[in-house]
Chains A and B, each alone.
Chain A
C-alpha cells in the first residue's frame, strides 16, 4: 500500500551542538527524494531519525498508511531500511548477507534463496554469491548493500550517500537499481548525495538542508 512519512518539528543536538532545528516535511509515497547539503549539516542524522534508528530531542516522526498513523514498533521498522555509507558486511557469503533481512523475518529456505538470488542478479553480483562478502571491492560492497535492502522489499528506503567513493560504472549500476525501484512505484526513497547531477538524474524532488532545516 505504501507509506507516507511526516516529519514534524524535528530537532536534535549532540553535546549542545544543534544538528537538526525544527525540521518538517511530508514525504509522499512512491516518490524519490534527494537531500543535499554540506558535510555535517544533519542529513545522516535526519535519515537515522526518519528510519526510526534514533529518537529526536523534540518533534515527531509519523508513518501514515491511508488515513492511519502507524505505531512505531518492530513491524513498522521492518517496512523500511537504511543503507549506510559503510554498509557493515557480515563475515559470511554474499548470498547469506543478502538473505539476512529475510532470515530474521522468518522466511523459509526456498523463498529466502530465490529472493536473495533475484536481488543479487539485479545488483550484478550473482556470480559472487558464494564468495565471502568481505572480499568484495568497495563498489561491489555498495551494490551488496542495495541488494540487501531491495530483497526485503521495503516501503521506505533510505540511502545515505550510496555512491560516495565508488567509480562511475558502479554509480551507474546503483542509479539504475534506484530508477527501477522508482518505476515500480510503491517504494518511497530518500537519499543523500553531494552530486547535484546525480540528484537531477534520479528525481525532480531535490531538497536542501540548511541550518538543520529542510528546504525545497
Chain B
C-alpha cells in the first residue's frame, strides 16, 4: 500500500515538473491520435452519411462489417498492418514501419468503423418527418440531405469523440507498427506498458493519470454533446 502511495506522490511530482521527455510523449500521443481521427473522420463521415441516406446493393453487408469492425482487436490491426508495411509486404517500399505515420494509419483503421457506424446510426435515427418537413418548405434534395445531417450533428459528434477516446487509449496496434522507439514513436500507452515491464511505476503512473484525465475530459464532452442533442429528455428514472 505504501509503495502505491509513494508511487502516486512521485508520479504527481513528475507531472508537476513538466519533464521535457514526458511532454514530448504527451505531444506525440495527441498528434498521432488527432491525425488518425482526422483521417477517420474524412473517410468515415461521408461513408456513414451515404449508408444512412441512400439505399444501394451491399449496404446491409457494409453496415454489418462496420459494426463488426467497431470491436476490431487492435493487435490484429497491428499485425495486419505490420505484414503490409514490413519490407517483404506490398507496401514495404514506403518504409513506413516503425514511424509515427504507421501509427497514424493503425489508429485511423481502428477509428474509421467507429466514426462511420456511429455517423450512420445518428443519421438513420433522425425522425423521418424532418425529411418531409424540409421538402414541404421547398428544400431541394441536397438541402434536405444537409438538413438531415445537421439534425444528426450531436450523434455524429458523439461518434467522433468516442473514436478519439478509443484511439487515445489504444496500445496493441501502435506498439507493433510503431516499435515504441524513445523520442520518435513512444506514446503514452506504449510508455506505460514499457515502464511497467521495467518496474518504473512512477513514470507509468504519471502517464496513467494524464491519460485518465484526457479520457475523463473526452467523456465529459461526449456526455455534454449527448445531452445537447436530447433536449426534450427532462426526467430520470430515479430522482
Contact = CB atoms under 8 A, between A and B. Distances in A.
Interface stretch (A60-68, A77-85, A172-180, A192-200): A77-85
Interface stretch (A5-13, A97-105, A118-126): A97-105
Nearest to B136: A82
Contacts of A43: none
A190 interface: no
Interface of B is mostly: helix
A81 B136 contact: yes
Contacts of B231: 91, 132, 134-135
Nearest to A85: B129
A74 interface: yes
Interface residues of A, number: 25
B138 A77 contact: yes
A53 B138 contact: no
Given A90-B147, A132-B231, A84 B137 contact: no
A164 interface: no
A91 B136 contact: no
Nearest to B146: A104
A152 interface: yes
Given A90-B147, A135-B231, A135-B232, A51 B129 contact: no
A205 interface: no
Interface of B: 127, 129-130, 132-140, 143, 147, 150-151, 154, 229, 231-232
Given A74-B140, A84-B132, A90-B150, 13 more contacts: A51-B136, A74-B138, A81-B136, A81-B137, A84-B136, A87-B133, A88-B130, A88-B134, A89-B133, A90-B151, A100-B137, A132-B231, A149-B137
